[in-house]
Structure 1
Amino acid sequence: MSTHPGDGAAPPAAVELHGITKRFPGVVANHDINIAVGAGTVHAIVGENGAGKSTLMKTLYGMHQPDEGTIAIAGSTVQLNSPSEAIKQGIGMVHQHFMLADNLTVLENVVLGAEHLHGIGAKARATITRLSAQYGLGVEPGRLMEDLGVGDRQRVEILKVLYRGARIIILDEPTAVLVPQEVDELFDNLRELKQEGLTVIFISHKLDEVLSVADDITVIRRGTTVATVDPANTTARELATLMVGGQLPVPELRESTVTDRVVLELADVTVESAQDRTVVDGVNLAIRAGEIVGIAGVEGNGQSELIEAVMGMRPAAKGRITLDGTDITGWQTRAIREAGVGYVPEDRHRHGLLLESPLWENRVLGHQTQRPNAKGPLIDRAGARADTQRIVEEFDVRTPGIDVQADALSGGNQQKLIVGREMSGSPKVVVAAHPTRGVDVGAQAAIWDHLRAARAQGLAVLLISADLDELIGMSDTLYVILRGRLVAEADPRSVTPEQLGSAMTGAGLDPRAANGNDAATENEAGA
């Protein structure tokens, strides 16, 4: 029944979840969840990893069905047996780990499975171009997906949802890959969506962000809803207490542990793309034992390629990479790992885990020739299993056991498993790309603690992150990368996130050069 303004009754909620319970073997993921999402609002859902947020959103998106409870869309109870049924009800979801095919163009990815809407030619291209302009997404239909950075991939995913006519959009950790300026742009986009009557459900761990953009915030703890609060009358600390029963962790390094011994050195390293375009341009960098060196940059400015060159995943066109005095330029990834380099990858699903394998096999991944995973040429199953149990306990990986598949774990617990694996075996260097991306405040604090402890033991860390507070708080030395060059060095003790964000876009900061006199001149010109 339609509700008219004169009826005096409020319009029905865009989405209403009532008594939702979802069980898996050995675990109750959601228990008696109750949420009402107002039409034309941004509704944030916050909670620790493993609290049940993703399970709940997958239920709303038809990826699995609740064991108990009901879902109502605009006042009508619905049965969502598949994502296609959710899409018919106007629900779209942008997953934290993107569902995109690298070998296809943006247009092909957007229309895939929705060819019946506007075909695959000029009409589809025009629709994509219009939607991209309307919501300020800056998406180019002809670009090949494998050439796009993580930020651009996210915008393609949002456009895919809009293309299918979604009126209710679920965003899972949408700001994890963005710098402050891009977050502001995304939030402007969300406000535009809201003004046009669309409803946004926003899953996040970044409490200050949800406070700035959400109309309502629901907190989930241990699988059930504990409160829905008004952001205007709530602080980040109050939210953190509701989430975890404790205070917000702060990224910070206390006393300096930096030594004089250079462990990893890059000398004039240049990397080219498959199209012979220079993506890393003459980088000079030295990381000493007991030092965390942070690199700040807008996604797609060469940081991913720089890491891949260090790890032997991509050849250096020029320059030299030295590990503890040994030239490792051109070495295979396995040899670099065996020489003592740990690697926390940017995308844990693509490069960090075998999702359909048990945890103990994931412990072996990338370390299959090393103890305790191997005895001679053979995998030491007992040794690997025992060490996986140690990692689970030491790094607080919440799991029913080490035989469960990796995809059964929440994102934060997957990340803690990877960090535990890469910090095992006393590495000399850890290359950490977004080590706390998409993890909750509790897991964040744990990962920072492990990095601090390893640093005190003499570990050298190369830290890449889109979280500027993390970079500033956890770096002994901090550089800015722009168009493949280290263009500036910032003092982590005094720089602000706003100054760092400004330098990342090529403006301001006026620090001393990190890559030679020409970089200093560029900075002075831009300041």
Structure 2
Amino acid sequence: MSAATPVVELKQITKRFPGIVANDSISLKLHKGEIHALLGENGAGKSTLMNILFGLYHPDEGSIEVGGKQVRIDSPNRAIELGIGMVHQHFKLVQPFTVTENIILGMEPRKGINIDYKYAAKQVQKLSEQYGLQVNPHARIQDISVGMQQRVEIVKTLYRGADILIFDEPTAVLTPQEIAELMVIMKRLVAEGKSIILITHKLKEIMQLSDIVTIIRRGKVVDTVKTSETTTRELAEKMVGRSVSFKVDKKPAEPADPVLQADNLTAKSQSGIPILQGLSFDVKAGEILGIAGVDGNGQSELIEALTGLRRIDGGSIRLLGKDITNQSPRQISEAGVSHIPEDRHKHGLVLDFTMSENMVLQTYYKPAFNRGGFLNFDAIEKQASRLIEAFDVRTPSTQTKARSLSGGNQQKAIIAREIDRNPDLLIAAQPTRGLDVGAIEFVHKQLIAQRDQGKAVLLISFELDEILNVSDRIAVIYEGQIVGEVKPEETNDQELGLMMAGSMKRGGAAT
């Protein structure tokens, strides 16, 4: 293979699903030692294309060449044989197993009839050190951070001999610090001779990391450009087909009385470790309060407490002056709280229900959709059609299962359902996680529209740009407490970062 020969070449790949052409005659070349970014909106066909390269789907038309030779990749095992590895957006790890057990699964080294774990752990340690991944071979998956789990996935592909690595939305669940660390790792991988295809919609990361960008829109290649010869604005316009605003356009907030009052909340984990430690804040009508913090500082537990998914041990939660502490999720929902959950698959949708059914998960028992104990399917269908159209949810039909929609369209469906309920308080947890720039702009407009209608909006996000852009007030959470409160126009990401790390409180006092 000459230096000019691509390590992978996709030629005229087409893939159809019922009612949609996911990939329409797509061609792409990846060269050795290159990071080639695949950019597109949610549902543009990026993951489908890479699932074809990894053998999870078979193309209807087109061919694949690896090292200049045409190959048929009919399974992930065949892809691995050809030196192709994939780090999936949703990790494929067995939680109770150790790091080493996960990495060697299916390729266990033997000593006689026994698995040689000692040798395997040494191999894992060696790979980890070679690429600066710093994973502990003996840690259990359930005990390590999301960022570390992703590193385990990377080591798993390297252990299987991958020279071509596909990263599918690798930063969607990472903190800003973990993203910076991952970028260093990816650059080290290509410096060692690996080649990377990076699926993403995050323009900042593309500009920092990639050599080449291929832009896909609605299943077709729009353009392939050198990263050094383009700008984020050009990429965004090619991706969504129109100009996109990066700055959130909003008038100053006009906050009124408090809608939500959380006072001195305390809660422990199942193992008795304190996770909420006297946490207090309020959210007023007509404002967006952003909660900033590194993942794992009590955000999930706070959301669960506010929405009735977790009992608190002490403190009180009041909505419009009424005590809703430790009420059931339905009671809290009926009181006027809508919730965009941080995990759309676990708490936002029933993936094997249709889009119609998902649109009435909170309201199916109400008279509008229920006649004498029987569901009124005509009314449910009309409701779903109205919301899908109003919120631009791209789905072949209202009868499509939620599972088959892209992440961005699943998120739009949840937002449509929650906003349509006309809440007094909207809790938006990681509302733009995994969304492209066009969808992010849409979501931010929806949150601001709720604020401008006099609603209280609680935004919990790991994205500092989002917190700074969208919030009217920012509260910083650290180890289950609010350690400071700032106005976005009076702070910056450095100060927020220090507060999030617990190294300072507002006013500069060390903690």
2: CA distance, partners of 1:351 / 1:280: 21
Query: Is 2:246 aligned against 1:261?
Result: no
Deviation, 1:416, is 0.4
Distance 1:413 1:427 in 2: 22
After TM superposition, give the deviation of residue 498 of structure 1 in Å. 3.4
* Alignment correspondent of 2:506: 511
Q: Distance in 1 between matches of 2:116 and 2:412?
A: 42
Q: Contact conserved, 1:12 with 1:75, CA < 8 A, in 2?
A: yes
Aligned to 2:42: 49
* Contact preservation (8 Å) 1:45, 1:202: yes
Q: Secondary structure at the match of 1:248?
A: coil
2-side partners of 1:329 and 1:420: how far apart?
27
Q: 1:270 aligns with which of 266, 274, 278?
A: 266
Quote the offset at 1:109 in angstroms: 3.6
1:95 is aligned to 2:80: no
Query: What SS does the corresponding residue of 1:525 show, helix, strand or coil?
Result: coil
Q: 1:221 to 1:320 in 2, by over 3 A?
A: same
Deviation for aligned residue 1:206 = 1.1
CA apart distance, 1:93: 1.5
Give the structure 2 partner of residue 518 of structure 1.
Answer: none
Amino acid at match of 2:29: A
What SS does the corresponding residue of 2:488 show, helix, strand or coil?
Answer: coil
Cα 1:337/1:132, change in 2 over 3 Å: farther
Secondary structure at 1:44's aligned position in 2? strand
Aligned position for 2:64? 71
C-alpha spacing 1:46/1:277, structure 2 compared with 1 (3 Å) = same
Matched, 1:351 2:350: no
Deviation at 1:131, TM superposition (A): 3.3
- Superposed, 1:493-512 pairs within 5 Å as 493-507=489-503, 511-512=506-507
* SS of residue in 2 equivalent to 1:364: coil
In structure 1, the residue matched to 2:510 is: 525
Partner of 2:6: 13
Task: Report the TM-score, using the length of structure 2 for normalisation.
Answer: 0.93
Alpha-carbon distance change, 344 to 106 in structure 1, aligned in 2, over 3 angstroms:
farther
Query: Using the alignment, how far apart are the partners of 1:428 and 1:144 within structure 2?
Result: 42
Is the CA contact (8 Å cut-off) linking 2:88 and 2:168 kept in structure 1? yes
Partner SS state of residue 27, structure 2 = strand
Question: Quick check: 1:179–1:468 contact (8 Å CA) kept in 2?
Answer: no
2:400 is matched with 404
Stretch of structure 1 that moved more, 468-477 or 147-156: 147-156
- Which secondary structure state, in structure 2, belongs to the residue aligned with residue 174 of structure 1? coil
SS at match of 1:211: helix
8 A contact 2:499–2:506 mirrored in 1:
no
Which residue is equivalent to 2:157? 161
Q: Kindly state the Cα deviation for residue 185 of structure 1 after the two structures are TM-superposed.
A: 1.1
- 1: CA distance, partners of 2:139 / 2:425: 36
Counterpart of 1:338, as a letter, is: E
- In the alignment, the residues of structure 2 paired with residue 100 and residue 169 of structure 1 have an alpha-carbon distance, to the nearest angstrom, of 17
Q: Cα gap change, 1:129/1:377 in structure 2, threshold over 3 Å: closer, same or farther?
A: farther
Bigger mean CA deviation after superposition, 208-217 or 241-250: 241-250
What CA deviation, in whole Å up to 9, does each residue of 1:494-515 have, x standing for no partner? Answer: 322333233322345x525xxx
Give SS of 2:420's match: coil
Question: Aligned partners of 1:96, 1:229: CA distance in 2, in Å?
Answer: 25
Alignment of 1:25-174 (within 5 A): 25-115=18-108, 119=115, 121-174=117-170
Contact 1:337/1:367 (8 A) holds in 2: no
Distance 2:387 2:50 in 1: 29
Q: CA deviation at 1:373?
A: 4.0
Say which is worse superposed, 148-157 or 486-495, in terms of deviation: 148-157
- Please give the secondary structure, in 2, of the residue aligned with 1:171: strand
Residues 179 and 417 (structure 1), Cα distance of their counterparts in 2 relative to 1, 3 Å cut: same
SS of aligned partner of 1:432 = strand
How far does residue 421 in structure 1 lie from its aligned partner after superposition? Answer: 1.1
Q: 1:244 to 1:253 in 2, by over 3 A?
A: closer
1:223 to 196, 210, 219: 219
Structure 1 residues 452 and 130: CA distance shift in structure 2, 3 A: same
Contact 2:256-2:286 within 8 A present in 1 as well: no
- d(CA) in 2 for partners of 1:149, 1:251: 31
C-alpha change, 1:141 and 1:253, in structure 2 (3 Å) is: farther
Q: 1:364 Cα shift? A: 2.5
Gaps of at least 5 residues in structure 2 are: none
- Secondary structure in 1 aligned to 2:489? coil
| Alpha-carbon RMSD | 2.2
| 8 Å CA contact retained: 1:267, 1:282 | yes
The answer to whether the 8 Å contact 2:253/2:472 transfers is: no
Decide whether the 8 Å contact of 1:40 with 1:197 is kept in 2: yes
Does 2:183 correspond to 1:183? no
Report the Cα offset of residue 134 of structure 1: 3.6
- CA shift for structure 1 position 349: 1.7
Which has the larger displacement, 208-217 or 258-267? 258-267
Q: Confirm whether residue 419 of structure 1 aligns to residue 415 of structure 2.
A: yes
SS in 2 for 1:295: strand
Residue 104 of structure 1, CA deviation: 4.2
Q: 1:207-218 maps to which residues of 2 (within 5 A)?
A: 207-218=203-214
Structure 1: runs of 5+ lacking an equivalent: 4-9, 513-522
In structure 2, distance between residues paired with 1:58 and 1:203: 11
Does 377-386 or 85-94 show the bigger shift? 377-386
1:241 to 233, 237, 243: 237
Q: Distance in 1 between matches of 2:472 and 2:92?
A: 36
Q: CA deviation at 1:214?
A: 0.5
Q: CA deviation at 1:442?
A: 1.5
CA distance in structure 1 between the partners assigned to 2:318 and 2:175 by the alignment: 31
Any idea what the Cα deviations from partners look like across 1:118-144, whole Å, max 9, x if unmatched?
Answer: 947333333334433443444344444
CA–CA distance in structure 2, aligned partners of residues 374 and 129 of structure 1: 59
Q: Deviations over 1:22-50 (max 9, x none)?
A: 11121111111111011111111101122
Deviations 1:167-198 (A, max 9, x none): 21111111222333322211100011111111
In 2: Cα distance, 1:38 partner to 1:28 partner: 27
**In structure 2, the residue corresponding to 1:524 is in which secondary structure?**
coil
- Pair 1:525–1:330, CA change in 2 (3 A): same
Q: State the partner residue of 2:188.
A: 192
The alpha-carbon deviation at position 108 of structure 1 amounts to 4.0
- The SS at the match of 2:510 is helix
Match among 345, 360, 367 for residue 364 of structure 1: 360
In structure 2, what residue type is equivalent to 1:360?
A: S
Contact 1:31 1:224 in 2 (8 A): yes
| 1:68, distance to aligned residue in structure 2 (A) | 0.9
1:47-101 deviations in Å (ceiling 9; x for gaps): 1122111111111111111111111112121111112221222212222223334
| Structure 1 residues 389 and 116: CA distance shift in structure 2, 3 A | farther
Structure 1 residues 66-75 or 499-508, which shifts more? Answer: 499-508
- CA change 1:367–1:399 in 2 (3 A) is same
Between stretches 35-44 and 156-165, larger displacement belongs to 156-165
Report if aligned partners of 1:289, 1:458 keep a CA contact under 8 Å in 2: yes
CA displacement at 1:161 relative to structure 2: 2.5
Structure 2 distance, partners of 1:456, 1:390, is 23
